[in-house]
Amino acid sequence: MKKYNFNAGPSILPDVVLEAAAKAIIDFDGTGLSLLSISHRTPEFEAVLAEADSLFRELLNIPDNYKIYFMGGGASTQFFHIPANFLAKKAGYVNTGVWTKKAIKEAKFYGEVEVVASSDDKNFSYIPKNFDIPKDLDYLYICANNTIFGTEYKCDIDSPVPLFADMSSNILSRPIDVSKYALIYGGAQKNLAPAGVSFMIIRDDMLGKVVRPLPTMMNVNTYVENNSMFNTPPVFPIYVLRETLKWLKAEGGVAEIHRRNEEKAAKLYAEIDRNSLFRGTVAKEDRSSMNICFVMSEGNEELASEFMSFAKERGMVGIKGHRLVGGFRASCYNACPMEAVEALVACMQEFEKMHA
Ligand SMILES: Cc1ncc(COP(=O)(O)O)c(C=O)c1O
């Protein structure tokens, strides 16, 4: 049976990328050696890293005064790396769910945290807007897409202090104005690569603003000065990341993938709104295009497990919602084809007919 992969992360990657990765495990770029058993300090791997850098720049229109680096440890490592490097006295955080709560907890090890806005009052079902940003903050931190609750900032906000964003689950899903951010980072295991690598896009002036002496591997400058190769980087995930960026370019780049993402999201949200058995869980204007959350409508709650089995029998994978929201979550990352969304919509329609 055909499977439709809606996993939240690690998640779907393009077939051509998986094929290239499989091939490289046996014979890396014609070297006659496996990608898994070469030194990272070879011209061949250095070329992979250089191409990943230049494709990232090209696809996201990253200005020249930004550096990109890759490191292990996932996005959760950045939760403490970032404040270790940049929180001298007080940082501002917008609390929009689990991932910002975790980031706030880590930041408190290094200084004061002011939660400048929060959607905690309504189970994180919206993105706070029009909040004041104090001028005395070392930085303002947001999570651009809330993977668990299914909310997303639909535009790049303005900030009078350096703006930092966790883009783990929506990087390269839409065009962004990189110049509005001082730092963009994320784990790569949604839109880019398998787990094991995170990316950092950092404005040059921040490199001179590290606020305390730090162990070598904690300091952002170590990664920039050594071109992500102070120690052994996650070679395999970086290779796959390069392949995904090549795929994205060949597909027409971020503008085209954004068009497709909006089309997929519009189709699924339209069905959620139309179908009498289901309802959405977040404010419509803040609906994520990546993580689409929905539950059974009022009075139909007892049908949830039946729908889960029904969908599973039709090939849907990974649609169980996070326990904090319940219901269902279809993660429609860049590599998720329209065909998968159509299959899920057909499944919801069929289920509705059965219960009409
Ligand atoms: C938005 C966001 N930030 C951070 C994380 C944590 O990432 P990692 O598991 O790489 O530490 C996740 C994981 O799903 C996420 O979705």
Residue 291: which pLDDT band, with cuts at 50, 70 and 90?
A: very high
pLDDT confidence of residue 32? 95
Does residue 74's CB lie within 6 angstroms of at least one atom of ligand 1? yes
Does residue 168's CB lie within 6 angstroms of at least one atom of ligand 1? yes
pLDDT in tens, 126-163: 999 999 999 999 999 999 999 999 999 999 999 999 99
pLDDT in tens, 256-282: 999 999 999 999 999 999 999 999 999
Who's near 161: CB < 8 A, 6+ residues apart?
92, 133, 134, 135, 137, 138, 139, 140
Region 100-124: what's the mean pLDDT? 98
Atom 4 of ligand 1, residue of closest alpha carbon: 75
The whole-angstrom distance between residue 200's C-alpha and the CA centroid of its chain comes to 12
Atom 10 of ligand 1, residue of closest alpha carbon: 74
167 Cα to the center of ligand 1, angstroms? 9
> What secondary structure letter does DSSP report for 178?
G
In three-state secondary structure terms, 6 is coil
Does residue 9's CB lie within 6 angstroms of at least one atom of ligand 1? yes
Q: Where are the domains of the chain?
A: 15-250, 253-354
CATH number for the domain formed by residue range(s) 253-354 = 3.90.1150.10
Ligand 1 mutation pick, 168, 185, 199, 333, max ligand atoms within 8 A of CB: 168
Does residue 169's CB lie within 6 angstroms of at least one atom of ligand 1? yes
In three-state secondary structure terms, 289 is coil
pLDDT in tens, 55-103: 999 999 999 999 999 999 999 999 999 999 999 999 999 999 999 999 9
142 Cα to the center of ligand 1, angstroms? 13
How far apart CA 290 and CA 347 sit, in angstroms, is: 20
Ligand 1 mutation pick, 70, 76, 77, max ligand atoms within 8 A of CB: 76
The CA distances from residue 144 to 51, 56, 70, 128, 278, in Å, are 26, 18, 19, 12, 26
CATH number for the domain formed by residue range(s) 15-250 = 3.40.640.10
The pTM score is: 0.98
Average pLDDT, the chain: 97
pLDDT confidence of residue 211? 98
pLDDT confidence of residue 153? 98
Q: Element (H or E) spanning 71, and its range? A: strand 66-71
Cβ proximity of 118 and 126 under 8 Å: no
- Residues assigned a catalytic role: 99, 166, 190
pLDDT in tens, 215-249: 999 999 999 999 999 999 999 999 999 999 999 99
- Cα-Cα end-to-end distance for the chain: 27
Residue 356: which pLDDT band, with cuts at 50, 70 and 90?
A: confident
Please give the share of the chain, as a percent, with pLDDT higher than 70. 100
The CA distances from residue 112 to 89, 104, 137, 341, in Å, are 6, 10, 10, 43
The whole-angstrom distance between residue 294's C-alpha and the CA centroid of its chain comes to 20
